[in-house]
Amino acid sequence: MSLHDDLLSQARHLANRERRRPRQASLRRAISTAYYALFHLLVYEATSRLIAAGPARERFARAFDHRDMKNASRDFASAAPNLPVLTGGLPIPNPIRQVALAFVNLQEARHEADYNVTARFTRVEVNNLVTRVQQAFDAWKKVRGDPVAALYLGAMLLGNKWKR
């Protein structure tokens, strides 16, 4: 299995680790791990399209920035006004919007889980987030060959430079 698949499996495990009263630590780690599953799926998809396997791909993967990925995802999820120009007039397929919105929401949930020590999470909330990542994985499989999917991946790497 790939890292992103392993991380998604681990997130499911953490969300359901304790049968009765889940520990907040397990729930928090499940949220963070679910986010990183989606992050690594998208980085893998982008790097595998551009660079053959090996050390160069790993180095290239380090160029992705969480903030840039979130900003690009926000643009694609909301169909920002400048997107028709940037996509060459191609419409943004709903599965890409679904993936992009999941990325934004999961990154925000991860920040809450990792940095807000007063936040409390329920198993239901966490399982819903993990399910959302699984749905994003499924949506990505449907749309990964679409030309706009390649633009989305490129936008996440380039940050604001892609808007020039």
Confidence class for position 56, pLDDT limits 50, 70, 90: confident
Element (H, E) at 107: helix 94-115
Domain count for the chain: 1
Query: What does pTM read for this prediction?
Result: 0.92
Q: What pLDDT, in 10s, does the model give residues 104-158?
A: 999 999 999 999 999 999 999 999 999 999 999 999 999 999 999 999 999 998 8
Among candidate residues 48, 33, 142, the one with its CA nearest the CA of residue 98: 142
Output DSSP code: residue 163.
Answer: G
Instruction: Give mean pLDDT, residues 52-62.
Output: 78
Tokens 């430079």 sit at which residue? Answer: 161
Q: Which domain holds residue 57?
A: 3-163
Residue 81 has pLDDT above 70, yes or no: no
Contact residues for 147 (Cβ-Cβ < 8 A; gap 6+)? 90
Instruction: Give the whole-angstrom CA distance, residue 143 versus residue 47.
Output: 17
The pLDDT of residue 82 is: 60
pLDDT in tens, 115-129: 999 999 999 999 999
